[in-house]
Amino acid sequence: MRRKWVVRGLLALVFVAWLLTGVTEVRPGERAVVRRFGRVLDVQPRAGLWVGFPWGIDRVDRVAVEQVRRVAVGYRVADEGPREETPSGQLLTGDHNLVNVQVVVNYAVDPDAVVDYVEQRDRVEELITRATEALLAEWVAGQLVDDVLQTGRVLLPRDLLERLPPRLAEYRLGVRVRSVNVAHLLAPAEVKVAFDEVAEAKAKGDTLIEQARLDAQERRTRAEVEVKRLESETKQDVAKKRTQTRAEVAAFEARLRAYRANPLVREAGYWDYLVRVVTRLAQNGQLQPLDPAIEPRLPGQK
């Protein structure tokens, strides 16, 4: 009899424990997806206690929607396994050079598409990897190797962040891409030294070009300042000479008026005029002296 009650007590405890499997705690920052006999219910419990049917009837999947997950795509820096002929993440540029690229995609579960994430959970990272690899190959193939190595760390994340979400939306993964970071972007080890030398030479060339541009700008600035100084001095000289000329003209006109107003000047001008008339008549043979015995030498006569 006692043994029977023990068995009944154990069965009761098991039954109670089975009933308690229908109680689920949903933590803050989580969403829950409830499936009853495999069918997804419309209700999605949030933070708090969810009381449903026990295990075997209901299945509750809790998903942390605020957790940022990451997946590395491309070249494996610390990969010590057997080398392939073309390692993953070693891509061909538009000018037929190889570069090793690895990016990190940071994503989180979309709170409005938790059901899609739960249904696709086992293949989410694989599909993100495949889509990112395809976009990486497209972007690198459209660039020159110098552009990839020098601007890839800035331009590549922007391109992926713009083009990856629409690509993933086709798969209905229930995730949102938060950010993309470039973890590794270098030339292959076999040619890295040569690329470094080229990059160093280009950097020196860019430095010289920038220095020449600055020197030219400085010289242009000095020339502009000198031109303005010369223009100012020229204007001042012109104004000064114009003032002096006006003063000289005024003095000359005053002296001319005084000269013309003097009787002696008028008389001298009259006799000068007579001398010029007599000289011209003598040169033309139109002047005859009163005494033939006298042959005066007039001005202009030989």
pLDDT at residue number 130: 93
pLDDT at residue number 166: 93
Encode pLDDT of 120-130 as tens digits: 888 999 999 99
**Token pair of 137 as six digits:** 């190959």
User: In this structure, what are the phi and psi dihedrals at residue 187, rounded to the nearest 5 degrees?
Assistant: -75, 155
Encode pLDDT of 15-32 as tens digits: 666 655 555 666 677 777
Encode pLDDT of 159-178 as tens digits: 999 999 999 999 999 899 99
Closest to 68 (Cα-Cα) out of 12, 116, 106, 19: 106
Give the CB-side neighbour count of residue 60, counting CA atoms within 13 A: 22
Report the alpha-carbon distance of residue 300 to residue 281 in Å, rounded.
10
Residue 23 makes CB contacts below 8 A (sequence gap 6+) with: 49, 50, 51, 52
Closest to 152 (Cα-Cα) out of 200, 195, 101, 198: 101
**Token pair of 93 as six digits:** 């540029």
**Residue type at position 4:** K
- Global pTM reads 0.56
Report the alpha-carbon distance of residue 206 to residue 255 in Å, rounded.
72
Which secondary-structure segment (H or E) carries 234? helix 192-261
Encode pLDDT of 63-107 as tens digits: 788 888 999 998 876 554 455 566 777 888 888 888 899 999 999
Report the alpha-carbon distance of residue 157 to residue 272 in Å, rounded.
103
pLDDT at residue number 35: 75
User: Is 181 a residue whose pLDDT tops 90?
Assistant: yes
pLDDT at residue number 58: 63
Task: Give the pLDDT band of residue 145 (cuts 50, 70, 90).
Answer: confident
Segments in 92-191 forming alpha helices (H): 114-120, 124-141, 145-169
| Percent of the chain predicted with pLDDT > 70 | 69
Which secondary-structure segment (H or E) carries 7? helix 2-20
Encode pLDDT of 34-71 as tens digits: 677 766 666 676 665 655 666 766 676 777 888 889 99
Report the alpha-carbon distance of residue 21 to residue 50 in Å, rounded.
10
Encode pLDDT of 206-260 as tens digits: 888 989 888 999 999 899 999 998 898 899 988 898 888 888 888 888 877 777 7
